A = this chain, B = another copy of it.
Amino acid sequence: MDHKTLYSYIEPVIALTDDELALLMSCAKMMQLKKGEQLLKEGEVCSAFYLVETGYLRTYYDRDSVAINMNFTFEGDFTANLKSYRDRKPSETIIEAGEDSIIWIFNLREIAEQYDAYPQVSRFIRRLAITQLLTAQEHSALIKLHTPAERYRHIEKNSPQLLQRVSLSQLASYLGVTRETLSRVRAKNN
């Protein structure tokens, strides 16, 4: 993939000049992952943002070997562990491929000293962060305001691709219920 194609993922977030794009590219590398391979392990410090080109990434807590999913990131979207990134603290979550995936890793820590000279790059990162975190806020509201059946219908309506690509068991922990409950919710909804 060349700069031009990569820019097609960045441009919807912010317009960049060639110089700015070059700076970003200087810290980017591509990686192929098999389903289940981990991009960020528990205890590692996150120093990059990840862009999904194909496949998807799953962010989850490992509670006694049971995955509690917090986020799914699909083609064209960015993710990271912002808390670990900002505070340079070990990550409590794992980010791994939910399918065989092609991922772009932007090691932003490498270029952090150059932000001042490239304010648009700084703004780009800020927008990624805000978008990611608004998503978390909405997810929190979804769980606090709605019943399991309502949560499922919300996903059906607003993120139907989740239902296509994520297994019911994975979706269950994302919605804060067991897989049995979600299976029954789905049975009644038809």
Contact = CB atoms under 8 A, between A and B. Distances in A.
B134 A137 contact: no
B137 A133 contact: yes
Interface stretch (A11-19, A38-46, A139-147, A155-163): A139-147
A61 B123 CA distance: 30
A78 B84 CA distance: 22
Interface residues of A, number: 27
Contacts of A138: 83
Given A82-B130, A130-B86, A144 B141 contact: no
A129 interface: yes
Contact of A144 (B83, B86, B116, B143): B143
A122 B86 CA distance: 17
The listed residue with most B CB atoms (<10 A of its CB), out of A61, A63, A129, A137, is A137
A149 to B, nearest CB: 16
Contact of A140 (B116, B126, B129, B139): B139
Contacts of A173: 144
A134 B85 CA distance: 11
Interface of A: 61, 63, 68, 70, 82-83, 86, 116, 119, 122-123, 126, 129-130, 133-134, 136-141, 143-145, 173, 176
25 contacts: A61-B141, A61-B145, A63-B145, A68-B145, A70-B140, A70-B144, A86-B134, A119-B119, A119-B122, A122-B122, A126-B129, A129-B130, A129-B133, A133-B134, A133-B136, A133-B137, A136-B136, A137-B137, A139-B140, A140-B140, A140-B143, A143-B143, A143-B144, A144-B173, A144-B176
Given A83-B137, A137-B137, 4 more contacts: A82-B130, A129-B133, A133-B133, A143-B143
